């Protein structure tokens, strides 16, 4: 085997499907807590976990996960029974700055944080 053939064999293309939600009106810190629960799990198992998790981020993550599963089935011809969450992360988005009146005519800044959430699914071999 030549060196090029070895490199091509090592770089086997693994199909993956992704879904991203940008500018979600929830702090990335709150999303990461729930994301850690489902990282590496089967897609169906992850949905079951998210439905029983009493956090605001779980409702958002269910929608993104369903979208990623639909992308996998329709765009990449994957079967939904073999899908698992290979990557899930929530990055910080832009912060909306608001002002609230405070004592003695001063103002207090309120930071409304946003996040960008990404889920990447792969198929079990």
Work out the mean pLDDT of the chain and round it to a whole number.
91
DSSP conformational letter for 26: S
For 62-81, how does the pLDDT look when each residue is reduced to its tens digit (9 = 90+)?
999 999 999 999 998 899 89
Tell me the two tokens of residue 2. Answer: 């030549």
The helix (run of H) or strand (run of E) holding residue 101 is strand 96-101
Q: Given this model, what pLDDT does residue 32 score? A: 95
Tell me the two tokens of residue 83. Answer: 């899908």
CA–CA gap between residue 70 and residue 117 (Å, rounded): 17
CA–CA gap between residue 74 and residue 76 (Å, rounded): 6
For 3-42, how does the pLDDT look when each residue is reduced to its tens digit (9 = 90+)?
666 656 556 677 889 999 999 999 999 999 999 999 999 9
Contact yes or no for 60/117 (Cβ under 8 A): yes
Q: Given this model, what pLDDT does residue 95 score? A: 96
User: pLDDT-based confidence at 124, cuts 50/70/90?
Assistant: confident
């Amino acid at each position: 085997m030549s060196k090029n053939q070895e490199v091509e064999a090592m770089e086997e293309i693994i199909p993956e499907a992704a879904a991203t939600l940008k500018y979600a009106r929830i702090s990335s810190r709150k999303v990461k807590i729930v994301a850690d629960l489902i990282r590496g799990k089967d897609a169906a198992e992850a949905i079951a976990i998210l439905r029983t998790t009493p956090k605001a981020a779980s409702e958002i993550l269910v929608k993104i996960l369903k979208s990623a599963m639909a992308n996998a089935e329709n765009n990449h011809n994957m079967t939904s029974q073999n899908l698992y969450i290979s990557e899930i992360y929530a990055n910080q988005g832009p912060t909306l700055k608001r002002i609230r009146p405070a004592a003695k005519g001063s103002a207090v800044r309120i930071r409304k944080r946003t996040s960008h959430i990404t889920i990447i699914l792969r198929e079990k071999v």
